[in-house]
Amino acid sequence: MAGAERKRAELVAAQIERDIAAMGWPVGQVIGSEAALVQKYGVSRAVFREAVRLIEHHMVGRMRPGPGGGLVVGEPDPEAVARAMSVYLSFAKVRGGELLEIRSAIEGLASELAAQRATDAERLELRRLVEEEVERAALSPLVAKEFHLKVAEMSHNPAIYLFVRCLVDLSEERIIPEESRREAAVRMNRVHARIAEAIIGGDSALARYRMGKHVDAIGPWLREPAPEGAADAMLDEDLRAAQLG
């Protein structure tokens, strides 16, 4: 496809995405057949099909063949979007200190909003997650990540959730624990419990402070390479901050 046609396809894809958003993003709804949409957007079939390829790549929609078929509105996957952001930031050679700056700010805000907005059911879920964290850590190294994502979800702000998901993924790729998984999980769990306590209690200022100190404490792990003993020092300082907060 020529450059001009490809550019036209990109513009049409962007317009279709805007139109779907204006409709309120009706997932599963057919918004038109190929023939109808080609006519609506005033492009050739070749340009339209290239636009659909872009739309499918963005998980905005997909073409369904056959009678009653057409462009079906899709549901973008936040995990895939966050992963794409992580890949780009890795390509851009984002430094550990830069990750820390934004992650501390965003997760601190997420904790503050979670304390203000969480439902009773979400508070119970967070308490249960913390109570089961150590045992579950023996089976999966992703338990600490789940705590951070749960707090971000409880902020009821999808932008915060997406950014936290991306930043946590990037941070985890750079962290290599220096102690046994269970020992690290026990010490991390004490800190998570203190953060959860503030969120469940509705103390937004304390929740923000504790989460900010917690994220700041992973700084030594994000240095490249991490200094010897960084894991122990991080967990000790993190725990002290949580107890004082």
pLDDT of the residue at 226: 46
pLDDT of the residue at 174: 63
Give dist(CA 150, CA 114) in Å, integer.
9
pLDDT of the residue at 241: 55
Task: Report the chain (245 residues): mean pLDDT per 10 consecutive residues.
Answer: 83 95 94 95 95 92 91 89 84 84 92 98 96 79 84 96 89 58 76 95 96 83 53 53 55
Give dist(CA 200, CA 120) in Å, integer.
9
Q: Which residue has the tokens 């725990």?
A: 239
* Sequence-distant (≥ 6) Cβ neighbours of residue 58 within 8 angstroms: 13, 17, 76
pLDDT of the residue at 86: 84
pLDDT of the residue at 58: 86
185 and 169 in contact (C-beta within 8 Å)? no
* Sequence-distant (≥ 6) Cβ neighbours of residue 37 within 8 angstroms: 16, 31, 48, 70, 71
**Burial class (CB within 10 angstroms; exposed 0-12, middle 13-18, buried 19+) of 100:** buried
pLDDT of the residue at 140: 66
pLDDT of the residue at 170: 83
> How many Cα atoms sit within 13 Å of 188 on the Cβ side?
28
pLDDT of the residue at 26: 95
Identify the helix (H) or strand (E) that includes residue 44.
Answer: none
Give dist(CA 162, CA 165) in Å, integer.
5
Nearest to 203 by CA among 84, 112, 132, 92: 112
Statement: the pTM of the whole predicted model exceeds 0.85: no
Nearest to 89 by CA among 153, 175, 169, 177: 169
Q: Please report the domains of the chain, with CATH numbers, ordered by start residue.
A: 3-73 (1.10.10.10), 78-244 (1.20.120.530)
DSSP 162: H
pLDDT of the residue at 171: 79
* Residue 206 bridge partners (DSSP): none
Nearest to 116 by CA among 156, 164, 159: 156
